Amino acid sequence: RTALRGTLSDLRGEPESPGVKRCYPANSAPHILDSFERREVMSSHRVELPCKASGHPAPKYRWLKDNRPLEPDARFRQSVAGLLIERAQPADAGAYVCEVWNAYGTAEVGGMLLVKGQCPVRSAGGGGGWWMVVVFVVRVVMIVVVVTVVVFVVVKVFVPLKAVVSPRKVKGSVGSQVSLSCGVTGSEEYQLSWYRNGELIYPGSSVRVTGQNRENLVMGGMAKSDGGAYQCFARHGKMAAQDFVQVILEGLPPKSWRTILGRARLKLHGRFAACRSWAHAGPIDQFHPIAPNSGFRIEVLVNGSLLIKHVLEEDSGFYLCRVSNDVGA
């Protein structure tokens, strides 16, 4: 009751109304009304750190940054609601503490300020928009370069080794030349070996291995026994890859006689000496001896030649002439 002395208007210097008592607020320690724990702001933008307190007499304010009194700066000013920072810079980021006090007590509130981005460099005339564009473009380019390098490294490290032999189908005749190539991806450095039916192939008079990494295999004068599975095996560190193709060789050296079925005669001769015997093999058969007097259509002549009359489809294939003299056979 002793505090009821008048109206609050007397505190503002207003004249006292007749019959009304004046009232003064009770003395009290500061009490925080508004605070913050974390604030984020883009560089060059404005930010306000809330710090509002009640108390009587009216409390005073002091700000600390990173446990040190805040240095004077024209960009900083105390507002009714808190600390107002104009054109925030990265250096403004840190831990802020707002201290309030009066004759009856103290209080404080603290929080973190994060400033995103760079403060643009301005010229003496106050310009700087063009520089922000340049900084933005440089950042974009740097990000693209970093992402490209990371992707390249990941691909370089994690892409597996792969080998592919070409051509995929190889079908030739005895005496011909066969060429194979092995393409390897996943690494530019590797060791390569060639195998036939699981056995390592070594270069020789009729076998050549060419290319920077021995990726080409060239074989001449192929024999029927040279057919089979040809394998390319590549190694790089702990990685390995392989591929193979099947090489098929058919028949004897490709010397053939062609005729029209039922309309021609076929006369074969031995070389350097008369043929003592003849044998015949179809495209996929073994050789079978031809008797000197096989019948009316097929006849072995006195000079060793083989005469086939009225040629039929079953006569196609390979013919073997066996000869002998005093030196050998």
Q: What is the reported pLDDT for 123?
A: 44
pLDDT at 5 > cutoff 50: no
More confident of the two residues 255 and 247: 247
Per-residue pLDDT averaged across 194-203, rounded?
Answer: 92
Per-residue confidence (pLDDT) for residue 158, from 0 to 100: 60
Residue with tokens 């193709």: 245
Instruction: Give me the pLDDT at residue 151, please.
Output: 66
Residue 253 pLDDT: 45
pLDDT tens readout for residues 226-243: 889 999 999 988 889 999
pLDDT above 80 for 324: no
- What's residue 326's pLDDT? 58
With bands split at pLDDT 50, 70 and 90, how would you rate the model's confidence at 19? low
The mean pLDDT of 163-186, rounded to a whole number, is 90
Euclidean distance between the first and the last CA atom of the chain, given in angstroms as a whole number: 148
The token duo for 93 is 């980021």
Q: Report how far residue 312's alpha carbon sits from residue 329's, in angstroms, rounded to the nearest whole number.
A: 31
Q: How confident is the model at residue 88 (pLDDT cuts 50, 70, 90)?
A: very high
141-165 burial string, b = 16+ CB within 10 Å, else e?
eeeeeeeeeeeeeeeeeeeebebeb
pLDDT of residue 25: 72
Q: What is the mean pLDDT of the chain?
A: 79
Q: 42 is written with which tokens?
A: 């883009």
Say whether pLDDT at 143 is over 60: yes
Burial of 20 (0-12, 13-18, 19+ CB in 10 A): exposed
pLDDT reported for residue 138: 87
Place 157 in a pLDDT band, splitting at 50, 70 and 90. low
- Could you report the per-residue pLDDT of 89-118, keeping only the tens digit for each? 999 999 999 999 999 999 998 999 999 985
Mean pLDDT of 260-267: 45
Cβ(222)–Cβ(176) below 8 Å: yes
> What residue type is 251 in one-letter code?
G
Residue 154 pLDDT more than 70? Answer: no
pLDDT of residue 271: 44
pTM of the model: 0.34
What is the pLDDT averaged over residues 262-275? 50
Determine the average pLDDT of the residues in 119-124.
46
* Residues near 190 by beta carbon (within 8 Å), at least 6 away in sequence: 161, 184, 213, 234, 235, 236
What pLDDT does residue 8 have? 37
Choice between 293 and 2, residue whose per-residue pLDDT is larger: 293
pLDDT in tens, 300-312: 887 778 888 878 8
Q: What is the pLDDT of residue 259?
A: 41
Query: Looking at residue 210, what is its pLDDT?
Result: 92
pLDDT of 3: 39
Query: In percent, how much of the chain has pLDDT > 70?
Result: 75
pLDDT tops 50 at residue 124: no
**Residue 139: band (very low, low, confident or very high) from pLDDT cuts 50, 70, 90:** confident
> For 48-85, what is each residue's pLDDT tens digit?
999 989 999 999 999 999 999 988 889 999 988 889 99
